[in-house]
Amino acid sequence: MTRLLSRRRVLGAGGAAALVPVVGRPTAAGAATMGGPLVTLRTAIRVYDSRTSSILGGRKLGPGDSLDVAVSSALEDNFALAVFLNCSITETEGSGFLVLRPTDLSGEAPFPATSNINWWASGLTLGNASLVAVGSENSIEIHCRGAGRTHVIIDIQGYVPYVP
């Protein structure tokens, strides 16, 4: 169990607050969790767009689909504890929701009872800001739940750097 020596309150979109670790003690496994000050990017960086057939995307996500998205291209430092991002969906079909989480939890932990963005009808375009913890490979997992399909766009707006 990690015991944090201090925490910094960070305000996200809509005034939502998150407590971000600033200084930490070693975990049971011996790794330390440390975070630096929030880094805000001057311009958002697109790290995923399913509407393109390039390395950034390829197809709509549907029920049960999961994918890992590398956030490294948006980071000025080597690793991040969390990223502030905007998750947009477009050309929705049916209804559903997306769950964003660190890739380290894939297959090991159940999905949370919460979602990062929801849609309820076909033909919608929506966006939502989120603070998402980053996995050890500097990536996040996007998982589609519900009965519908959608295109997904992920833009990184800032991050909490890992400080060894």
Where does residue 163 rank: exposed (0-12), middle (13-18), buried (19+ CB within 10 A)? middle
Domains of the chain, by residue range, sit at 39-159
State which CATH number among 3.40.50.300, 2.40.420.20, 3.40.50.720, 2.60.120.340 fits the domain covering 39-159: 2.60.120.340
So what's the pLDDT on residue 33?
A: 53
pTM over 0.95: no
Residue type, 85: L
| Average pLDDT along the chain | 79
pLDDT score of 89 more than 80: yes
With bands split at pLDDT 50, 70 and 90, how would you rate the model's confidence at 148?
A: very high
Q: Quick one: how far is CA 127 from the chain centroid?
A: 13
Count of beta carbons in the 10 Å neighbourhood of residue 68 = 13
- The pLDDT tens digits for 17-40 are 444 443 333 333 334 455 678 888
Nearest alpha-carbon partner for 47 in 128, 138, 122, 108: 138
Query: pLDDT tens for residues 94-139?
Result: 999 999 999 887 677 888 889 999 999 999 999 999 999 999 888 9
How far is residue 92's CA from residue 42's CA, in Å, rounded to a whole number?
30
